Amino acid sequence: MSDNLLVEQKPLNDILRARPDLRSTLAKLAPEGRIAGRSVRFWSQVATRNLAASWAKGNADVLAIWGRNDFIAAEADHPFIAEIVNRARLGKGTYVALDGSDHGFRKTTSAEDSFRRWNYVSDQ
């Protein structure tokens, strides 16, 4: 489904016509046609970019931080970003994992806790 929606840029209605069984999943994943608050068009543009090449050609030091309670991004992505940077500019990429933190760097007790509270605005 993600290839159809993001890479091939098929309209959501066409995907649902072909796969009506995905309707409830899409309703949870993309309420109001948005995924994690961003438009499908935004994610489609991201999906077509070579992000690894962008990390490699930058000139800044890179700190790739991952919160251990992150339910949005995979941990493996973050050391990989540091590896890409270090291959291009030795010593410029660093990976750090933070205990008790989620994708938004809020204090959480688990990925499940983060998921339950994700839309809750907090001063933590």
Query: Which phi and psi (to 5°) does residue 95 adopt?
Result: -115, 135
User: How sure is the predictor about 9, in pLDDT bands with cuts at 50, 70 and 90?
Assistant: confident
* 123: phi then psi, degrees, rounded to nearest 5: -95, 15
pLDDT band at 8; cut points 50, 70, 90: confident
What DSSP element (H or E) covers 96? strand 93-98
The per-residue pLDDT for 119 is 67
The yes-or-no verdict on residue 52 having pLDDT over 80 is yes
Structural contact between residues 85 and 62, judged by C-beta atoms closer than 8 angstroms: yes
pLDDT interval class at 1 (50, 70, 90) = low
Q: What are phi and psi of 41, to 5 degrees?
A: -60, -40
Domain boundaries along the sequence of the chain: 2-47, 51-117
Residue 124: its pLDDT value, please? 46
At residue 12, the pLDDT reads 77
The length of the chain is 124
The DSSP secondary structure of 62-81, one letter per residue, reads EEEEEETT-SSS-TTHHHHH
Tens of pLDDT, residue by residue over 98-123, are 999 999 999 999 999 998 887 655 44
